[in-house]
């Protein structure tokens, strides 16, 4: 089968990236296999579970069902881009503190999905979290500790006055 390739230029975690890709290449494989950013995971492979969630221009998308080509000229944020200078984002800290992490396979997608909620609703209650994150699945926890973590992260961000 003949292969064609195309060049894309995009920003990943704040850095410019230029690459030759296959037209059929999905963004998940692009960040995992080409860039070594393996925090985003492949699970359902059909936009149901949220394990592959990354932010594209600030909005959560399923990288398993997004062509890498669609990300050309845009900004991609993966979980690896959330820590700065080795310091955890308050949302990551809250997940750690609330034992909202078990096997860890859903965690990067959960955190990035929650990040968008906190930008829209800085101090969410449990109801906000459930409504916003219903499309992100976890099979280990009962979700309660994840909800607690997100609610608490909102409080922490407000207390610190951070705007991230």
Partner 1 sequence: MKPERVVGTPMRRVDAEEKAVGAARFTGDLVVSGMLHGRVLRSPLPSARIARIDGSAAERLAGVRAVLTGRDLVDMDPYYGHAIKDRPVIAIDRVRFAGAPVAAVAADDPATADDALAAIRVEYEDLPAAATLDAALSSGAPRLHEGPLRPGLFHGLGELRREDGNICYHYHFSRGDLDTAFAGADLTVEGEYTFPAVYQYAMEPHTVIAQWGADGLTVWACCQHPYLVRAELADLFRLPLSSVRVIVPYIGGGFGSKSYTKMEPLTAALARKAGRPVRIANRVDEAMVTTRRHNMKCWMRTAATRAGEVVARQCRIWLDTGAYADNGPRVAATAGDAAPGPYRWKAAGVDAWAVYTNTPPAGSYRAFGAAHLCWIGESQIDALARKTGLDPLEFRRRNLLRPGEEVRPGGKPLDADLIGDVTKVAAAVGWGEHKPPMVGRGLSVGLLAAGANPVSTAAIRLQADGSAVVLVGTSEMGQGSRTVFTQIAADELAVPPARIRVMGTDTQFTPYDRSTGASRSTTIAGKAVQRAAADVRDQLLEIAAGAWGLPVGSLDVRAGAVWHETESLSYQDLIKRHFGMVGGELIGHGEVRPERGTGSYAEGPVFWEVCVGGAEVEVDPETGRVHVRRLASVADVGKAINPVLVEAQDEGACLQGVGNALFEEMRFEDGQLINGTLLDYRIPSMADLPDEFRSIIVENADGPGPYGAKGIGEGAQAGVPGAIVNALGDLGIDARELPLTPERLWRLMRGSR
Query: Given the rule CB under 8 A, which residues bind partner 1?
Result: 1, 22, 24-25, 29, 32, 37-46, 48-49, 51, 78-80, 82-83, 88, 92-93, 95-97, 99, 101-108, 111, 129-130, 133-135, 137-145, 147
The backbone torsions φ and ψ at residue 69, rounded to the nearest 5 degrees and listed phi first, read: -60, -35
> CA 112 to CA 58: how far, in whole Å?
10
- Least Cα distance to 52 among 67, 39, 34 occurs for 39
123 or 134, CB closer to partner 1?
134
> CA 68 to CA 151: how far, in whole Å?
33
- Least Cα distance to 58 among 11, 21, 101 occurs for 11
Task: Quote the least distance from Cβ 18 to partner 1, whole Å.
Answer: 20
5 or 73, CB closer to partner 1?
5
> CA 148 to CA 98: how far, in whole Å?
7
Task: Quote the least distance from Cβ 10 to partner 1, whole Å.
Answer: 19
- Helical packing angle, 126-133 and 107-120, nearest 10°: 120
73 or 144, CB closer to partner 1?
144
Task: Quote the least distance from Cβ 163 to partner 1, whole Å.
Answer: 21
Task: Quote the least distance from Cβ 118 to partner 1, whole Å.
Answer: 15
13 or 71, CB closer to partner 1?
13
73 or 160, CB closer to partner 1?
160
Token reading at 121: 């609703």
**What single DSSP character describes residue 88?**
P
């Amino acid at each position: 089968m003949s292969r064609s390739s195309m060049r894309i230029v995009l920003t990943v975690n704040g850095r410019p990236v230029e690459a030759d890709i296959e037209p059929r290449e999905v963004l998940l494989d692009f960040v995992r296999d080409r860039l070594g950013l393996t925090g985003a995971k492949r699970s359902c492979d059909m936009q149901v579970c949220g394990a592959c969630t990354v932010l594209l221009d600030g909005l959560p998308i399923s990288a398993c069902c997004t062509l890498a080509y669609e990300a050309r000229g845009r900004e991609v944020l993966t979980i690896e881009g959330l820590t700065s200078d080795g310091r955890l984002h308050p949302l990551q800290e809250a997940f750690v503190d609330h034992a909202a992490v078990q096997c860890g396979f859903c965690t990067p997608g959960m955190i990035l999905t929650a990040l968008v909620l906190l930008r829209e609703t800085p101090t969410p209650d449990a109801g906000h979290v459930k409504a916003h994150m219903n499309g992100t699945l976890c099979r280990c926890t009962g979700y309660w500790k994840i909800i607690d973590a997100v609610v608490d992260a909102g409080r922490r961000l407000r207390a610190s006055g951070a705007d991230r």
